[in-house]
Amino acid sequence: MTETAKTRVRSGESELRVTRSRRNVAWSGVGAIVVVVVLFLFPYYIGAGTTDIMVQALIVLTLASMWNLLAGYAGLVSVGQQAFFGLGAYFVLIPAMHGVTPWAALPIAAIGAGICALPLWWLVSRLRTGYFAIATWVLASAIMLVVEQFQSIGGGTGEALPGLSGMDPAVLAAYTYWAALIVAVLAIGAVYFLLRSRVGLVLTAIRDDERAARSSGARVGLARMLVFVVAAAGCGAAGGVLAIQQLEVAPGTSGGVFSVQWTAEMAFAVIIGGIGTIEGPIVGTAVFIILQQTLESYNAWYLIILGLVAIVIAIFFRRGLWGTLDDKVNLRLLPTGYYLWPAGETRRRFRRSKADVAQG
Amino acid sequence: MAWVNAVIQGILTGGLYALFACGLSLLFGVMKVVNLAHGDLATVAGYVGVGIVAAIHLPFLWSVPVVVLAMAVLGYVLQRSVIQAALSRGELTTLIVTFGLSIVIENGLLQFFTSDSRGLAVGDSFTTASFSIGSQITIAWLDVYIFVLAVAVLLALQYFLTGSKYGRLIRAVADDREAAQLSGADYRHVFGIAAAIAFGTVALAGMSYGLTTTIDPTTGTDTILLFAFAAVVIGGLGSLWGTLIGGIVLGVAQQIGAQINIGYEQLGGYVIFLLVLVVWPQGLTGRRAQS
């Protein structure tokens, strides 16, 4: 997993080493696999009520990972991701109404939402930052209005999801959980490997200096478009999972699949957990679910508290919980960047050299 | 005749949309803040207006200056505290903070006032009076008043920004913050004043909207913010009169959409918005504003 590039610096005759991380992170890959296996076995040991909450968490985790890719790595602050989330839900509903089993429709949801993102990208790509944000919001609103025009898929009131009515509730809950888990793992995996690829390098270059990246031949527009499409596909898959969990698809901006609340949840989870790290959305989702479950009986309060926490963290701890931890102890379990080793420094001597720096 | 009526109604509604948009436009023009909480703040002004009329039985027209002043003070305070703190940390933080404010305000309203729609209960002929041209065109006086108010606000802003000493200071800070600071201007205070003015227009927009129809907690984002933004994009960024044109184009497009099919009202507006975005990305008046 760790790439090492050795370059001889001609002037100083010393060796420069470039690795993925300052620490050896091979064990965290093994740890991730163990965690996924344990999560996979959950339905055998815990009740349907708990898996239901876990499905909610996995949906938010998928969404947050996608929003992190958009805002944290490509600088695209989208407030309209509910468009793709809602489209994903409908891309599960429509095949299901024609006899396709909803499980098989999940890939359709991801691919469909990704394809829908292409023309929308063409529309919004000419706008920057704040205007990009509201434009995505307007598009989400327009898409909802269009979807509501079709009475055959429930119009403005929504439609029940057919095709799962015969299943035993416990089995259905377990299957839904596994589907949500697979979607979340694939989403995080996709983000991780996308960022370690050439696209990740281009994105880092854009983040540091867009003009310089452009003039060095980096295909800035293409990289951003790829990120937008991947994020749409991920949100679409998450929307499909929601359709299966709720067994119905309802449009509408308050409580429906096109509610801006979904974008609020994913954005706040990312900001709280730590934007621009793979681990951040995971931490943020945990905070989100704990808050939501604690304040469950107080209606809208969890979103109010979540919003306030996100504002405070955005202002005072810009890198979020995980980013702040990373600053303190240099901890990246799933590194996507590179670390340039100064001459002579090795992993074993890391602690001592840090102490030297502190003394000097 | 029905089409003529649609166009006239659309033009009058366009005034309201321009009123929605000018606060958004001003904040972006001066401090490059895209205020995602814009619509929700207008809704708050509407609710405060409802509350004042209900609580102390102040005549409606007297409650307007009270609410505008209160919102202006809120604007100054918010700008000097939260928004300035976010602004100094970058664009992403500013967006997150205003988005956070939007969600907090919307859900706060939902929590305290439930999701029921409310109207500003003026309860006299002020909101219902109308006059007729011919047999098919009926124009509500209220829509005319709001259109006149919108034009008056835009004229006042135009005069203030170009003619007055303080307006020139605001434009100087907007153009080159460092240079203005070197000349002795405290840009934070200037930003605060600009935010106060913007919030004042937001209060007028929210109360006007509350007079024409009912408001509920989601009105702020579903209607006011998105329509304001559409008007700004159609009219061209950074031009006050472009905002009025944008508002009118949006209003007419919506009314024509509604004329085709009552369900197409909002879609009609968004179709024009997307068309402008594709064909004239600079907006209808953008080129003139640039040169």
Per-residue pLDDT of chain B (291 residues; tens, 9 = 90+): 788 888 999 999 999 999 999 999 888 888 888 889 999 999 999 888 877 777 777 777 788 888 999 999 999 999 999 999 998 888 889 999 999 999 999 999 988 887 777 776 666 666 677 787 777 788 888 889 999 999 999 999 989 988 888 888 988 888 888 888 888 888 889 999 999 999 999 999 998 888 888 888 888 888 899 999 999 888 877 677 888 999 999 999 999 999 888 888 888 899 998 888 888 877 777 654 443
pLDDT at B286 (0 to 100) = 62
Q: Which residue of B has its CA nearest to A304?
A: B104
Question: What six digits make up the tokens of B140?
Answer: 């509500």
For chain A, give the longest Cα–Cα distance. 74
pLDDT at B213 (0 to 100) = 84
Note whether A269 contacts B: Cβ–Cβ < 8 A.
no
Q: CB B230 to CB A138 under 8 A?
A: yes
Question: What six digits make up the tokens of B112?
Answer: 């305290």
Distance, in angstroms, between B35 CA and closest chain A CA? 8
What residues are paired with A6 via a beta bridge? Answer: A17
Phi, psi of A202 (to 5 degrees): -60, -45
Q: How far apart are CA B254 and CA B17, in angstroms?
A: 11
Per-residue pLDDT of chain A (360 residues; tens, 9 = 90+): 444 444 444 445 556 677 776 666 677 788 888 889 999 888 888 877 788 899 999 999 999 999 999 998 888 999 999 999 999 999 999 999 998 899 999 999 999 999 999 999 998 888 877 888 888 999 999 999 899 888 888 888 888 888 888 888 888 999 999 999 999 999 999 999 999 888 888 888 887 788 888 888 888 889 999 999 999 999 999 999 999 999 989 887 667 889 888 999 999 999 999 998 889 999 999 999 999 888 877 777 888 999 999 999 999 988 888 888 887 777 777 777 777 777 666 665 445 444 444 433
Share of chain B above pLDDT 70, in %: 95
Chain B, 26-55: which have a CB under 8 Å from a chain A CB? 28, 32-34, 36
Q: How far apart are CA B212 and CA B120, in angstroms?
A: 9
pLDDT tens digit string along B101-154?
999 999 999 888 877 777 766 666 666 777 877 777 888 888 899 999 999 999
Q: Which residue of B has its CA nearest to A148?
A: B263
pLDDT tens digit string along B13-45?
999 999 999 999 888 888 888 889 999 999 999
pLDDT at A357 (0 to 100) = 43
pLDDT at A359 (0 to 100) = 39
Q: How far apart are CA A21 and CA A1, in angstroms?
A: 11
Nearest residue, CB atoms, B107 vs list A123, A126, A304? A304
Contacts of A260 in chain B (CB under 8 A): 103, 221
Q: CB B91 to CB A315 under 8 A?
A: no
Contacts of A254 in chain B (CB under 8 A): 115, 218
Phi, psi of A90 (to 5 degrees): -70, -30
Q: Which value does ipTM take for this structure? A: 0.88
Contacts of A126 in chain B (CB under 8 A): 277, 281
Are B33 and B165 in contact, with CB atoms under 8 Å apart? no
Q: Which residue of B has its CA nearest to A298?
A: B111
Q: CB B95 to CB A145 under 8 A?
A: no
- CA B259, distance to chain mean position in Å, is 25
Could you tell me which residues come within 8 angstroms of residue A332 by beta carbon, excluding any fewer than 6 positions away? A21, A22, A23, A25, A277, A279, A326
pLDDT at B263 (0 to 100) = 80
Note whether B82 contacts A: Cβ–Cβ < 8 A.
yes
Q: Exposed e or buried b for every residue in A299-327, given b needs 16+ CB within 10 A? A: ebbbbbbbbebbbebbbeebbbbbbebbe
